[in-house]
Chains A and B, each alone.
Chain A
Amino acid sequence: MALKTEPFVLNIGPAHPSTHGVFRMRSTLDGEVIVDMEPVFGYLHRGIEKLAEERTYTGVIPLTDRLDYLASMSNNLAYCLAVEKLAGIEVPERAEYLRVILAELQRIASHLIAVGAFLNDCGAFMTPILYMIREREKILDLFDMVCGQRLTYNFMRVGGVSQDIPEEFLPALRRFVGQMPGFIDEYDRFLKENEILLARAKGVGILTREMAINSSAGGPVLRGSGVKWDIRKADPYSIYDRFEFDIPTGAAGDCYDRYRVRVEEMRQSVRIIKQAMEQLPSGPVRSEVPHLIHPPVGEAYAHIEAPKGELGFYLVSDNSIAPYRCHVRAPSLINLTALRDMVVGWKIADAIIIFGSIDICMGEVDR
């Protein structure tokens, strides 16, 4: 005898100890299984695109820090590349290498939080995330040495970086890069083959290859589904074509694959930093750029492989000191498009894990 059930609507969020930021999943449940889900966000909308139209080109850089506040260096880098493309400004060699080192350090820091938060959602009660925060503290100390800030750095400038690195940076970086692979191996030893983690994350929240491409996913979400697309290899920006590194991909597109892709990417980032450190030349760190930049009339789009996906800036200029239009191609917003299809059919506990495995930052989603 079939039991007559009635679906009911449940709000997961916005104030929830586990959703990464203020995000609401309006789910329709039948028992414990989710039959429909509508994401609702906008709680963190600050109008960054509109604000950017009223600031000078250099003045927009602190705004970009606050987009994906867990990966500020990458945001700065993308924006500076866009302005340099628009205005035709060259960047000196030393600045290029420094940018690469800082961007890859930032990728490791962002992935540490992403993996840690994902494992926290799986229920491992803070232990993995605290271990990873211990490593992230070392990276934040390095950033503190460079620019005095721990979260929103405002460090890159149009034409280079804002100042040169202090003396103690390179020895500390060398120490960090020596220890980091050991730590990643330690995390793998604890977690990679843990039966409970496999049971919770393998086969859960599958994003097929076609679905990933159709919903414009990027970053580890796309690579976890088996598409070998990384902007650093496909459309190299800055000096990434001089380094040797691999692109990890997953096979099935489930949460476990996305988690593995992020861990492997951390290893590859360490590899890139080692190569960049060896080849670091001396020289100026910023090219001669006027205080108020007047790019010629036109438009430009520059994109980078940010930790969360493809981050791009689309700038339109009308030869004044402020951008006419600055649009942010936010990876977190676009990766969320596939969330509904990934979540439907799973239980509430799985929905939290699937959402955590996409790794979004609300600052980017809402802008």
Chain B
Amino acid sequence: MTVALSGKEIAGQLEGKFPGSIVESGRDCIVVNSDSLLAVAAFLKDTQGLDLDYLNYITAIDYYDHFEVVYQLVSLEHNHSLVLKTRCYQRDNPTLLSVVNLWQGADFQEREIYDLMGIRFEGHPNMKRIVLWEGFQGHPLRKDYL
């Protein structure tokens, strides 16, 4: 059975290493600051005992006043998973750091989030639209699109 790691425990570990990075921690997810996203992600991937080397999915949700980007990380070896979230408060041109160098699986998913939600990922080698055509105006999955 895949064990969902407790948010509070991981939050405790992370506060120790990266102070100020945790915004909130729930029972099964942690919310980090968008600035410390890359450092936290690298820590989660490389630490022995956590070994979260499999990125299951990335998705983004539009909560009217902010965007929330959700990452689920899984460790195939230890069979546990963790949900990592981060928030973007800008509406016009939100940017985040890309995790493509850690998990190549993020490649198409980050492009899709850019295409449909408008969040740019810095450090991504090919930040262009993926499901819609070049020259499409707007980002359809946003709540204020239609």
Q: Do chains A and B touch in the complex (CB under 8 A)?
A: yes
Q: At the interface, yes or no: A128 with Cβ under 8 Å from chain B?
A: no
Chain B residues 91-134 with CB under 8 Å of chain A are: 103-109, 112, 116, 129-133
Tell whether, in the assembled complex, residue B108 and residue A337 are in contact, meaning their CB atoms are under 8 Å apart: yes
Asked if B38 is at the interface of the complex by the 8 Å CB criterion, the answer is no
Whether a CB of chain B sits under 8 angstroms from the CB of A47 is yes
- Is A213 close to B, CB under 8 A? yes
Contact B132 A42 (CB under 8 A): yes
* Residue B84, interface by CB 8 Å: no
Chain A residues with CB below 8 A from B107, complex form: 215, 337
Task: Tally B residues with Cβ within 8 Å of A.
Answer: 33
Is there a chain B Cβ closer than 8 Å to A234's Cβ? yes
Which stretch, A16-24, A90-98, A182-190, A310-318, touches the partner chain B? Answer: A310-318
Query: Chain B's nearest CB lies how many Å from the CB of A249?
Result: 13
Which residues in A have their C-beta under 8 angstroms from that of B72?
301
* A227 (CB) vs chain B CBs: closest residue: B76
Decide: A45 near B141, CB < 8 A? Known: A234-B2, A312-B57. Answer: no
Do B131 and A314 touch across chains, with their CB atoms under 8 A apart? no
Chain B residues lying within 8 Å of A336, measured Cβ to Cβ, are 108
Q: A42-B130, A312-B57 are in contact. Are A214 and B2 (CB under 8 A)?
A: no
B1:A45 contact, CB within 8 angstroms: no
Q: Mask for A223-252, Cβ within 8 A of B = 1, else 0?
A: 000010100001110000000000000000
Are B103 and A214 closer than 8 Å at their CB atoms?
yes
Judge if B33 is at the interface, Cβ distance under 8 Å: no
**Is A334 located at the chain interface by the 8 A CB criterion?**
yes
- Complex Cα distance A211/B53, Å? 11
- Residues of A near B56 (CB, < 8 A) are 216, 303, 310, 312, 329
Contact check: which of A41, A50, A211, A310 meets B140 at CB < 8 Å?
A50
Interface string of B64-78 (1 = CB under 8 A from A): 000000101000100
- A170–B116 Cα gap in the complex (Å)? 45
Q: Which residues of the partner chain B approach A301 to less than 8 Å between Cβ atoms?
A: 72, 83
Q: Is A164 an interface residue (CB 8 A)?
A: no
A274 in contact (CB, < 8 A): no
A92-112 to B contact mask, C-beta < 8 Å, 1/0: 000000000000000000000
Residues of A within 8 A of B2 (CB): 234-235
Could you say which residues of chain B place their CB within 8 Å of the CB of A129?
none
List the 8 closest pairs (A to B, CB-CB), nearest first. Answer: A216-B105, A235-B2, A42-B131, A327-B59, A45-B131, A329-B57, A215-B104, A325-B61
Which A residues lie at the B interface, using CB under 8 A?
A: 41-42, 45, 47, 49-50, 211, 213-217, 227, 229, 234-236, 301, 303, 310, 312, 314, 316, 324-325, 327, 329, 333-334, 336-338, 366-367
Show 26 residue pairs from A and B whose CB-CB distance is below 8 angstroms, ordered by the A residue. Answer: A42-B129, A42-B130, A42-B131, A45-B131, A47-B140, A50-B140, A211-B104, A213-B53, A213-B76, A215-B104, A216-B55, A216-B57, A216-B104, A234-B1, A234-B76, A235-B2, A236-B1, A301-B72, A301-B83, A303-B56, A325-B59, A325-B62, A327-B57, A336-B108, A337-B107, A366-B131
